[in-house]
């Protein structure tokens, strides 16, 4: 007899986002942008380590290890016969709903149902707002614990059930060094991630808890009191059991659908769930839906209204839908840029827009040599060392390119701290200072990330006893402007230039599909510039007399396929190539480090898992190459702007030449 298809916690969360997703999940024929290795995600968010720490704070429980549903239910029922019990991974099932509870604490007829989350709790950001509405940041977590409570109460109606969230405490300060390094992550024989305790966890380690238990029973009861709650769950369960697609409801939330293939991605021979949804509702063909839709419109808050009015495409929008207005800053305002994107779609114009006059005004203020920097950072749930908070920022890597006034470019510096258990931030800043303090050249970043982290590290240094903290703080305050929380505390006289803001104000290319991410802007720039294609299709990067590199040798960044430049991030060396072949399986299904998320996971892999020296070297090499591309991408965008400005100057000079009689 075939076992029923169950609505588990993960499927409930998917259905809560959008019930139609239940039809696509788990089907190999559909693209799924969230199929990254779960082991790597576990590394990144720290959930398994926090779960294991929670068991130490609530000790002496029995663990349900089996993955078999029926066996896990039997073992749970047997343990619940005792008058008092603590059960880890308790199983509960009602009809076609199945859940595992992180920690179940029984005292006679009372049950504490405890869901452990690595998310941090801040009293200034409560679960419920002043008007009684559940805060959106907390809603998914509260819905999760409400689902578990619904299943358990229905299976065990004789118990009184209270619901809790067990969270990391943002205000807590770690009182010991090394606690973080006592929780490693590994895969079991089935490929599942699990945390294991390495070495002894002492009473001193646990004396000052970094987690807080929050009673959310009242909020859960409110969620479950919705008269439609049970009917909605049963509708989902019935559709999932019969493998039927619940009729989709189109909205701006479709923008983030994981069952989607980008319009210009020809590499996937899979079905696109989002396109099927939109086709079924609108009656439009899949071919028609390859045109730019309102989902692509950058920072547009009127997407839901447009969809409701059946204005599905950018070309359907009118000026009144956007209401473009100027602001006090140079270049395009947010609404003007949105309207520019719409106009390009209406006119079927795929040429880049570049405000050369505005950009020229910015360039005139820059001082050589130009410095391009990029940080790789993370946060960890269990602090790295004494005196720090959960999820305090960690800066573990940077890259630094320099462009001289004569146009020569070199990869001038880099930093990667991969030693386990060490807090890298202060050494990170010392080395960065040594590289940027040599001149007064303009420094570039892409987005606010670097500025935010420098503010974090300033705060960390202020609490520290580092001998050189005053000098390091003074350096950072010259290049980083204060965040809103510290507004007015200092004035950065060498403030970093944000290239993302320059893109937003002066540069729009339809090939980016409305995104301003450097991962989209770079390939758009390279496809628009024949001179950059000619230059970087040659193996001059890391070559003698070419562009100086610390990690590449005789490398050509430009590769063309079917007339288009392949995104350089997709051409980064595979981890299975050359000398790294022996380490090919260490990232499991991840072949490359090609974005910030995978870089963060790779660093976590070096911190929290056992690995060979070969694996460690392969990861380190891949991280260095990825981060180097991030700053060289900024250089190539700068070179494109410089090229366009030079062409404009030449054109103006030609136009101003007196004509011969």
DSSP per-residue codes, 154-206: HH-TTSEEEEEEEEEETT----SSSSGGGEEEEE-TTS-EEEEE-S---HHHH
CB atoms within 10 A of CB 573: 18
Residue length of the chain: 661
Is 60 exceeded by the pLDDT of residue 200?
yes
- Residue pLDDT, tens place only, 220-235: 999 999 999 999 999 9
Q: How far apart are the first and last CA of the chain?
A: 96
Question: The dihedral of CA 544, 549, 552, 555: what is its sign?
Answer: negative
pLDDT band at 384 (very low <50, low <70, confident <90, very high): confident
Q: How confident is the model at residue 42 (pLDDT cuts 50, 70, 90)?
A: low
Rounded to whole angstroms, the Cα distance separating 538 from 292 reads: 34
Confidence of residue 369 (pLDDT cuts 50, 70, 90): very high
Asked if pLDDT for residue 21 goes beyond 90, the answer is: yes
- Name residue 411's beta-bridge partners: 401
- Residue 478's Cα: distance from chain center in Å? 29
Whether residue 434 has a cis bond before it, omega within 30° of 0 = no
Given a cut of 50, whether residue 326 has pLDDT beyond it is: yes
pLDDT at 44: 62
Work out the percent of the chain whose per-residue pLDDT is above 70.
94
Residue 266 in this model has a pLDDT that exceeds 90: no
User: Looking at the predicted structure, is the pLDDT value of residue 505 above 90?
Assistant: yes
> Which pLDDT does position 189 carry in this prediction?
72
At 615 the pLDDT is: 84
Instruction: Check residue 310 and give left, alpha or beta (phi > 0: left; psi -120 to 50: alpha).
Output: left
Residues 501/448, Cβ–Cβ less than 8 Å: no
Contacts of 647 (CB under 8 A, 6+ apart): none
Place of tokens 């929780």: 183
pLDDT at 647 over 80: yes
Find the helix or strand (DSSP H, E) in which 51 lies. helix 47-57
Q: Which of 96-100, 148-152, 299-303, 382-386 comes out lowest in average pLDDT?
A: 382-386
The domain ranges of the chain are 39-239, 361-499, 511-652
Alpha-carbon distance 462 to 320, whole Å?
50
Banded pLDDT at 652 (limits 50, 70, 90):
confident
Residue 584 has pLDDT above 60, yes or no: no
| pLDDT (mean) for 445-465 | 96
Structure confidence by residue, pLDDT tens digits, 395-430? 999 999 999 999 999 999 999 998 888 899 999 999
pLDDT, averaged across the chain: 92
In DSSP notation, 78-139 reads: HHHTSSEEEEEEEEEEETTEEEEEEEEEEETTEEEEEEEEEEEE-TTS-SB-TTSPBPTTTH
């Amino acid at each position: 007899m075939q076992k029923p298809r169950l609505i588990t916690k993960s499927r409930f969360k998917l259905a809560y986002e959008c019930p139609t997703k239940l039809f696509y999940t788990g089907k190999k024929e559909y693209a799924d942008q969230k199929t990254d290795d779960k082991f790597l995600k576990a590394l990144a968010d720290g959930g398994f380590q926090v779960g294991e720490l929670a068991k130490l704070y609530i000790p002496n429980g029995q663990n349900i290890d089996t993955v078999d549903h029926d066996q896990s239910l039997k073992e749970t029922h047997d343990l619940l016969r005792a008058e008092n019990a603590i059960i880890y991974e308790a199983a509960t099932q009602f009809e076609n709903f199945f859940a595992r509870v992180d920690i179940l604490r029984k005292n006679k007829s009372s049950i504490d149902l405890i869901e452990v989350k690595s998310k941090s709790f801040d009293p200034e950001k409560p679960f419920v707002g002043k008007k009684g509405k559940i805060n959106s940041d907390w809603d998914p977590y509260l819905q999760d614990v409400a689902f578990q409570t619904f299943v358990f109460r229905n299976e065990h109606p004789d118990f009184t059930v209270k619901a809790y969230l067990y969270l990391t405490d943002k205000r807590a300060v770690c009182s010991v060094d090394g606690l973080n390094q006592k929780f490693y992550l590994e895969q079991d024989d089935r490929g599942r991630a699990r945390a294991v305790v390495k070495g002894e966890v002492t009473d001193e380690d646990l004396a000052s808890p970094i987690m807080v238990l929050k009673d959310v029973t009242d909020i859960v009861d409110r969620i479950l009191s919705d008269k439609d709650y049970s009917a909605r769950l049963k509708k989902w369960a019935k559709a999932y059991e019969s493998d039927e697609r619940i009729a989709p409801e189109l909205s701006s939330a479709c923008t983030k659908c994981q069952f989607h293939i980008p319009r210009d991605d020809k590499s996937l021979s899979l079905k696109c769930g989002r396109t099927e949804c939109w086709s079924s509702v609108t009656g439009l063909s899949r071919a028609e839906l390859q045109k730019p839709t309102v989902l692509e419109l950058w920072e547009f808050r009127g997407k839901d209204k447009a969809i409701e009015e059946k204005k599905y495409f950018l070309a359907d929008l009118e000026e009144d839908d956007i209401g473009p207005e100027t602001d006090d800053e140079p270049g395009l305002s947010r609404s003007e840029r949105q309207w520019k994107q719409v106009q390009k779609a209406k006119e079927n114009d795929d040429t880049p827009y570049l405000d050369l006059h505005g950009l020229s005004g910015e360039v005139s203020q820059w001082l050589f040599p130009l410095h391009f920097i990029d940080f790789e950072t993370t946060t960890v749930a269990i602090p790295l060392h004494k005196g720090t908070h959960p999820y305090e920022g960690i800066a573990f890597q940077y890259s630094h390119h320099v462009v001289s006034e004569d146009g020569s470019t070199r990869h001038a510096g880099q930093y990667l701290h991969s030693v386990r258990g060490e807090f890298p931030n202060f050494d990170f800043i010392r080395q960065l200072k040594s590289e940027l303090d040599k001149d007064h050249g303009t420094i570039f970043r892409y987005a606010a990330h670097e500025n935010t982290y420098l503010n974090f590290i300033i705060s960390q240094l202020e609490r520290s006893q580092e001998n050189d903290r005053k000098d390091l703080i003074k350096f950072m305050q010259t290049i980083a402007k204060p965040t809103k929380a510290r507004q007015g505390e200092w004035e950065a006289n060498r403030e970093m230039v944000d290239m993302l803001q320059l893109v937003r104000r002066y540069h729009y290319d339809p090939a980016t599909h409305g995104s301003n991410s450097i991962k989209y802007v770079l390939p758009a720039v390279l496809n628009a510039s024949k001179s950059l294609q000619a230059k970087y299709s040659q193996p001059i990067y890391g070559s003698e007399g070419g562009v100086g590199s610390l990690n590449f040798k005789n490398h050509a960044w430009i590769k063309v396929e079917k007339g288009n430049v392949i995104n350089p991030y997709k051409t980064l060396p595979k981890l299975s190539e050359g000398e790294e072949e022996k380490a090919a399986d260490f990232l499991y299904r991840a072949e490359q480090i090609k974005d910030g998320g995978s870089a963060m996971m790779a660093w976590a892999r070096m911190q929290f898992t056992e690995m060979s020296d070969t694996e460690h070297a392969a990861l380190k090499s891949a991280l260095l190459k990825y981060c180097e591309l991030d700053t060289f991408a900024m250089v190539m965008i700068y070179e494109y702007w410089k090229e366009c400005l030079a062409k404009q100057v030449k054109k103006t000079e030609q136009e101003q030449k007196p004509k011969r009689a």
